[in-house]
Amino acid sequence: MKMHSVNILRTRTGLGHPETAGLVKKAICAALDSEGVDRPCRVDVTLTDDETIRNINYEQRGVDRPTDVLSFPMNELQPGQFDTEICEIDMDTGDIFLGDMVISVPRCQVQGEEYGHGYKREVSYLAVHSVLHLLGYDHIDEGEDKRLMRAREEAVMSRLGTVR
């Protein structure tokens, strides 16, 4: 079976740690596998700084502040119900195009230290979190949706061996 395609762009040279791209790719593939996604998918990832993610957050969501991760799903999927029939297909490769994610590398560093688990876990967690958004999960309210998403995040992180 063909592997998932994870395309990573850095908005400037030298941004992040040398292992960031590998950690992000591994986390994305683990999340897709954990969700039973057995068709090759494409995810585009932008690694950036706080200023750039703040600008994107403002342009796309009207929120004028930096954030740790932004997710832009290409499909309207339901949590836990991956449906290839309603997905965008990359015409060049035949892969399912799930969407884009933008990660603030400096915010990963700060939050990893703040939460006491380090940069590597934080960047992996944010990639997993974003993939779940691309697959239809959300956490807008404090109810069942948030509990379901958090449970799926922890399951994937456990699979990666990076539990808290």
pLDDT digits (tens, 9 = 90+) for 140-163: 777 888 899 999 999 999 999 886
Q: What are the structural domains of the chain?
A: 5-160 (3.40.390.30)
Measure the CA–CA gap between 95 and 91, rounded to whole angstroms.
Answer: 8
pLDDT of residue 82: 92
pLDDT of residue 78: 92
With the CA atoms of 26, 29, 31 and 35 taken in that order, what torsion angle do they form, in degrees rounded to the nearest 10? -160
pLDDT of residue 85: 92
**Is the separation of the CB atoms in 104 and 49 below 8 Å?**
yes
Kindly tell me if the per-residue pLDDT of 124 is higher than 60: yes
pLDDT of residue 2: 59
